[in-house]
Copies of this chain bind each other. A is one copy, B any other.
């Protein structure tokens, strides 16, 4: 949702893009120019992803999105503890997979960054993780009704979406994934899938890159809304077949569809479609 500090933020973001790159370890000297540019683009995309998820109400005050560090697969990049709607390049931090900040410089990280680290640790194929509390998805985390892909744009969520309940292994907690033991338990429930629900909490998505992560989060939310309403109509809604799930995923992630959606989301969120 647009707010009056947009102009200020846009200026800040432009400035920080230039100022902060060295601080984040983005090489500006000594490495090939293309690597540095490519890394900057990925960081800008991560900022865009934050803004998109907020603008589309996939996240609210809470929630976060990360990418595996393009320069070091044993690290990931995630914003400091701040709402995605407000994230700027200067907010991005780097972490070891166990959550240790590389160069905090006084910035406070998200308490739940272990969700990201544990998934990157378990899944070499994953390069972007989203964690969010989508209001439309939350009913499926507590009702026992499995969330299924029912629409062709949501084949990307995968055939099966497990529900992980922190209480099973860890008893009563504040329900946040605060350490690697909890993160690894969640990653184990996720397995090789794309989505996992957290009981009474939200969802996590494991994707190959940040564009696919954002598209999957968005359509998980749409699919949840459609499934809720289809169930209200009565009967058993027709679901996508396993082969349809595979085929629609490939299509949704083809450049034709992915880039069209990415441009749409970026423009709506007021960011450059890189």
Per-residue interface assignment for chain A, residues 229 to 254, with 1 indicating a CB less than 8 Å from any chain B CB and 0 otherwise: 11111110111110110011011000
Q: Which of A1, A152, A175, A270 has the most CB of B within 10 A?
A: A152
A–B complex contacts, Cβ < 8 Å, 9 sampled? A85-B268, A111-B256, A139-B226, A139-B233, A143-B234, A144-B233, A150-B200, A174-B247, A200-B238
Is A31 on the interface with B (CB-CB < 8 A)? no
Residues on B with C-beta less than 8 A from A108 are 256
Q: What's the Cα separation between A175 and B108 when bound, in Å?
A: 45
How often does this chain occur in the complex, in copies?
4
Query: Within 8 Å of chain B (Cβ to Cβ): is A185?
Result: no
Contact B61 A151 (CB under 8 A): no
B interface footprint on A127-142 (CB within 8 Å = 1, 0 otherwise): 0000001011011101
Count chain A residues whose beta carbon lies closer than 8 angstroms to a beta carbon of B.
Answer: 74
The reply to whether B174 and A270 form a contact with Cβ atoms under 8 Å apart is no
The answer to whether A4 and B241 touch (CB under 8 A), given A226-B135, A229-B228, A230-B142, is: no
Is B172 a contact partner of A151 (Cβ separation < 8 A)? no
Q: Are A133 and B153 in contact (CB under 8 A)?
A: yes
Q: Mark A111-133, 1 if CB is under 8 A from B, else 0.
A: 10000000000000000000001
**Given A233-B228, A240-B200, A251-B176, A3 and B268 touching (CB < 8 A)?**
yes
> What does the 1/0 interface line of A207-239 toward B look like (CB < 8 Å)?
000000000000000100110111111110111
Contacting pair B260 A82 (CB below 8 A): yes
Contact partners of A222 in chain B: CB under 8 A: 135
Instruction: Please measure, in the bound complex, the distance between the C-alpha atom of A176 and the C-alpha atom of B260, giving whole angstroms.
Output: 16
Q: A5-B267, A176-B251 are in contact. List 15 more A-B contacts (CB 8 A).
A: A2-B3, A4-B270, A61-B264, A108-B256, A111-B251, A133-B153, A139-B230, A142-B226, A142-B239, A143-B237, A143-B238, A155-B175, A174-B250, A175-B240, A200-B240
